[in-house]
Structure 1
């Protein structure tokens, strides 16, 4: 400063993250005086000296990422609210299922064998472990590409698993097989749910704050599960002596769970293209000459696995799947400078004019792709990365090292 400031003169302003700005001015005694120029409802840590912030905003900072809402995607809050609802419903359903499994194993039954119960439990766990390994190998690479669909699939499968656990004591002859199948389903849920949660956290974190977003998501889930535990302590004594009432409560909670999950994944607006969103955007562009924005495309995207258009698209395939002779290879690469080879699969789509179709496709792409790419960028899509399922096969041409098969 050049010299002493006058009393009441504004000296500077500052803000903490996305909170309202506050101004600093000189007081009569020479101290600094702080004045808030507006307040946001979520408050936050790091507030200026002075009156304490309301307890509710300070409590929210325990469960929200630092810098909220600017540090996360715009769909963070609606997704997390519905995710909390589904977690609460799932916690209550899980209590009913656990109660049923413990009854089936023999807890409270003086005639039950500890060795038999232990063997059943170990068999149940080992079945789930093997299933987890096989499922991760089989579908692991697909979970990122369709995170919303697999997330919804995982939660519905979890409901099916809990239903089997509730029904297991009713069929004591098939009890062991039933809970083994149930635990197998739950292990698939843990793989799909954990992997898709990581993918969605990556989408929501906007300041390289994946760890913070993930940690606060865990805090939210812990709080919800704690509330579910307290409600379960009140609910179980009421339903334990009435299996039909217990089953009715389970179906009601399951309906809430499925609905909340649907609303949660529908609230997500992912700005990267996967196969389903690319199909919608490209179809709209070819029909109307304009690119759908991410919000519209995400609202139209099917959420049930297997219900999007059956387009057989393979990226990064081995060369022998494209050509079987030198003549075919020359014909396929002739006259094209793109860093990929495009081939119509004649085994699935028999067509004598396949080479003509490929050449015409290249011609159309050369004409339309620049406008399509610019439309994607203008509409808000991320074009530097994608969520298409691409295999690891690549080929380098000795005479043209820059050309690769993608």
Structure 2
């Protein structure tokens, strides 16, 4: 039986296609409405985020993410630990409205105390704290704030005393005379600042020592200013001397500020660290000034107040510079590192080496028994002693000897000496000093007792033997010392040993 062919008319086929299209549209609309009804409204979204929530890096538009029938999620964002959703309004036609993006925070608002702490942190600590700074930043800034607190408190009393001494409070002087005296006082301070600025590189060599010495000068200047109350007729000379001392202190503080902040910075955030550090100092200064104003209304004893504030200022200053951890080796830190190595065979860590550095050893005091880069005439008394030890240093860029008359070890540098040669010469000088002390029985390593050390002078023959023995020890131990120092984090490529300018030339 032949198959029956059912032929449809064109109108019937068109109706079938139209009904099929309408059915698909109906199903799609039904699914969309059902999804919108099933999704929670925007206000009922949970305030907390889950690990699966999109991060700020998922920036592409989420085409099918509808929050409700009128809103659509565009993207998510995170800033300072808080997450935000950006949504846009939908027109009835399904298109996004122009300029309709809104930001919705997914976290509950912070408590007022938390908002205040976040505001304060933005002013007093660098961004990324504590990961953006070294661990020594916190103790340094703590002592710095305390020092500025005492300094601000003392400034009220010194200013009040100066004004009384010059005659402002009692109308004992004409305004013109008062202005002239004040201008002369400030002018003398600026002259002192310019003269002291020529110290230059010493601010790098002996940073901590000069910083603490500058703070001592600041207190000395404050004491001289208070002395004008006892001798108002000597206002101008006393005020000028005080201002010179305080301006010299200001030069020291300004010149040593950047190297200290650089030691705290991790990466290229030295500007941020400096700005926040100065902000902390200013806040503490204002607090101290406010407290001092309240105290001054009760007319306290100037001597007692000055004594208490000075003790707090000097103690805070000492702890401030002592808490700084530097990676470079100056004279004081090099002495600690080498002496520890010669006694124990180990190099101290950065923290320990900086903590044991002598802060009260001022650079201008000639008390160090080791002289680096001296003049030839200071090291040798006669030509025979030089010719006897010169062959021992043919392969070196330096020469080490001991002056029996002055009781000091001298490390003379040759004109080809580089940074590593200077460090090696200083190391050799310490080794020779250690040998001489051991052979003479002087076990006390305190470098202040130079007279006791020089009382037992080795003979010329023994001295040559000691120098020869020191050469052998240095050749075996110097590289070991450098390696262990580098392992502890000390920078050995450059040094701040501040050698003299004299160099030995070829004959």
Q: TM-score range by the shorter chain?
A: 0.7 to 0.9
Aligned to 1:265: 321
| TM-score, reference length from structure 1 | 0.78
| TM-score, reference length from structure 2 | 0.63
Alpha carbons of structure 1 residues 385 and 47: separation in structure 2 relative to 1, 3 Å? farther
**Is the partner of 1:170 in helix, strand or coil?**
coil
Give the whole-Å Cα distance in 1 for the aligned partners of 2:82 and 2:54.
18
Alpha carbons of structure 1 residues 168 and 327: separation in structure 2 relative to 1, 3 Å? closer
Contact 1:332/1:343, CA 8 A, preserved across alignment? no
Aligned to 1:371: 480
**Is the partner of 1:342 in helix, strand or coil?**
strand
Instruction: Give me the CA root mean square deviation.
Output: 3.6
Aligned to 2:132: 71
**Is the partner of 1:157 in helix, strand or coil?**
helix
Alpha carbons of structure 1 residues 31 and 296: separation in structure 2 relative to 1, 3 Å? same
Alpha carbons of structure 1 residues 31 and 119: separation in structure 2 relative to 1, 3 Å? closer
Aligned to 1:17: none
Q: Does residue 160 of structure 1 match 2:220?
A: yes
Q: Does residue 312 of structure 1 match 2:369?
A: yes
Give the whole-Å Cα distance in 2 for the aligned partners of 1:208 and 1:319.
44
Alpha carbons of structure 1 residues 393 and 297: separation in structure 2 relative to 1, 3 Å? same
Aligned to 1:361: 470
Q: Does residue 204 of structure 1 match 2:264?
A: yes
**Is the partner of 2:460 in helix, strand or coil?**
coil
Aligned to 1:388: 497
Give the whole-Å Cα distance in 2 for the aligned partners of 1:331 and 1:110.
75
Give the whole-Å Cα distance in 1 for the aligned partners of 2:398 and 2:312.
47
Give the whole-Å Cα distance in 2 for the aligned partners of 1:252 and 1:174.
26
Alpha carbons of structure 1 residues 210 and 326: separation in structure 2 relative to 1, 3 Å? farther
Give the whole-Å Cα distance in 2 for the aligned partners of 1:84 and 1:109.
35
Alpha carbons of structure 1 residues 363 and 309: separation in structure 2 relative to 1, 3 Å? farther
Gaps of 5+ in 2: 1-49, 67-72, 85-104, 408-456
Give the whole-Å Cα distance in 2 for the aligned partners of 1:222 and 1:200.
18
Contact 1:101/1:168, CA 8 A, preserved across alignment? yes
Give the whole-Å Cα distance in 2 for the aligned partners of 1:184 and 1:279.
33
Q: Does residue 92 of structure 1 match 2:150?
A: no
CA deviation vs aligned residue, 1:146-176 (integer Å, no higher than 9, x gap): 2222222222221221122112121224332
Aligned to 1:174: 234
Report deviation, 1:33. 5.6
Contact 2:149/2:289, CA 8 A, preserved across alignment? no
Give the whole-Å Cα distance in 2 for the aligned partners of 1:327 and 1:352.
8
Give the whole-Å Cα distance in 2 for the aligned partners of 1:45 and 1:159.
43
Alpha carbons of structure 1 residues 201 and 390: separation in structure 2 relative to 1, 3 Å? farther
Gaps of 5+ in 1: 1-6, 15-25, 36-43, 399-406
Worse-matched range after superposition: 185-194 or 305-314: 305-314
Report deviation, 1:329. 7.4
**Equivalent residue in structure 2 for 1:236, among 291, 296, 319:** 296
Aligned to 1:256: 312
